[in-house]
Structure 1
Amino acid sequence: MSSDRLFRFPKPQWLNSANSRTAGVYLAGGLFSLSFFLLIDAASFSKSLKNASDFHMNFVDWIPGIFSALGMLVINSIDKTRLSGDTFAYSGDGVAWKARVVLFMGFAAMAGGLAGSVTVMVLKYVVPEAGFPTLWMGVANVMANALVMISSAVLWVSQNMEDDYTYNLAL
């Protein structure tokens, strides 16, 4: 075993195929659409007649989802090769630290979205002791933001897989 490896067990070779990359992108899209389905489902339940309570979703409930979606957009728009300052092509003009700062801001937006959804759920639904059909609106908000974070991680990993069939055209 070489001494420059980080982990003891090697990565499976089937993980680097074009099919696994495509499946990862589709899985991330499915998780993202499921997250916003949960959020829209809770919002439509909020305005329906079955919600016989005084609790309704308003713009405050949507703000964490917006921050999580913007964080996902920022994180997955950064190329993984820009993060390492070791390569000759990117180390000269300081692109690596700028990409790391932008990546940190994306992760902070997603973490803020998840923390905001937990805060909204606790302050709006748990503290006033809302019952479960009404509490679903807060739980769905937290689940939606968690699924956006998972979707972002899956998309990041699947987009940045190294494949034998991709070509680097940079000179």
Structure 2
Amino acid sequence: MDSRNNLFRFNLAQLKFPKSQKLRSFGVYLAGILFAVGFWSMIDASVYSKTVNASTIHITFVDWIPFICSTIGMMIVNSIEKSNLLNDPNSSSFLSTGSGNAWAARVILFLGFSLLAGGLAGSFMVFILKFLMKKVGFPTLGMGVSNIVCNSCVMFSCIILWLSQNIEDEYSYSLAL
């Protein structure tokens, strides 16, 4: 293979990766752990807010909106397969505007990642507006931090799960010339 046609100096096909089934299982478990940690941090902040918190600031539905957006974005992103993004017989390039499944899958994937990013940005905005602007102390400030941790874990969980689900098997070959 001619090295002038490669984008990178090294060829990724020559690198030895572990068995794809083990890597896929590890990625799915890691994504589940990250999602559980994120969900647990939000539940923990809510329980702390209603039982132990002595301040006037509590976790309300506004604090849950970023988590809901991130979770819906995660479901949307992980419902798209990588093969739907790349293989479209109606299009001649990656950014073509032809009508096909690939174009629709790209738009839906963009909307899913937009919901994920909006959820994370929303958790930062709730943290800034609700906790930092009122200059509260740390036990109460921890509820805002846990909201950011929650949405960060959901976002990383989504990315890891999507990558691990779309790992190609070692026995699948690309026959494109």
TM-score class normalised by the smaller sequence: 0.7 to 0.9
1:72 to 71, 74, 86: 74
The reply on whether 1:119 has 2:125 as its aligned counterpart is yes
Alpha-carbon distance between aligned partners in 1 of 2:5 and 2:32, rounded to the nearest angstrom: 35
From the superposition, tell whether residues 140 and 4 of structure 1 become closer, same or farther in structure 2 (CA, over 3 Å).
farther
1:104-141 CA-partner distances (Å, limit 9, x unpaired): 10011011101111000100010000100000111100
Structure 1 unmatched ranges of 5 or more = none
Query: Where does 1:110-149 land on structure 2 (aligned, <5 Å)?
Result: 110-149=116-155
Q: Which residue of 1 aligns with 2:37?
A: 34
State the one-letter code of the partner of 1:7.
Answer: F
Q: Which residue of 1 aligns with 2:49?
A: 46
Alpha-carbon distance between aligned partners in 2 of 1:7 and 1:31, rounded to the nearest angstrom: 32
From the superposition, tell whether residues 79 and 40 of structure 1 become closer, same or farther in structure 2 (CA, over 3 Å).
same
- The count of aligned residue pairs is 165
TM-score, normalisation: structure 2: 0.85
Alpha-carbon distance between aligned partners in 1 of 2:130 and 2:121, rounded to the nearest angstrom: 14
The reply on whether 1:104 has 2:107 as its aligned counterpart is no
Aligned partner of residue 83 in structure 1, secondary structure: helix
Alpha-carbon distance between aligned partners in 1 of 2:158 and 2:8, rounded to the nearest angstrom: 24
The reply on whether 1:17 has 2:23 as its aligned counterpart is no
Kindly, what percent of the aligned residue pairs are identical? 51
- After superposition, the CA RMSD in angstroms is 2.1
1:27-46 CA-partner distances (Å, limit 9, x unpaired): 00100111000000111110
Alpha-carbon offset, residue 16 of structure 1: 5.1
Alpha-carbon distance between aligned partners in 2 of 1:20 and 1:151, rounded to the nearest angstrom: 15
Alpha-carbon distance between aligned partners in 1 of 2:36 and 2:69, rounded to the nearest angstrom: 16
Q: Which residue of 2 aligns with 1:55?
A: 57
From the superposition, tell whether residues 40 and 3 of structure 1 become closer, same or farther in structure 2 (CA, over 3 Å).
farther
| Contact 2:3 2:9 survives alignment (8 Å) | no
Alpha-carbon distance between aligned partners in 1 of 2:45 and 2:8, rounded to the nearest angstrom: 42
Structure 2 unmatched ranges of 5 or more = 92-97
From the superposition, tell whether residues 37 and 3 of structure 1 become closer, same or farther in structure 2 (CA, over 3 Å).
farther
TM-score, normalisation: structure 1: 0.88
Alpha-carbon offset, residue 23 of structure 1: 0.3
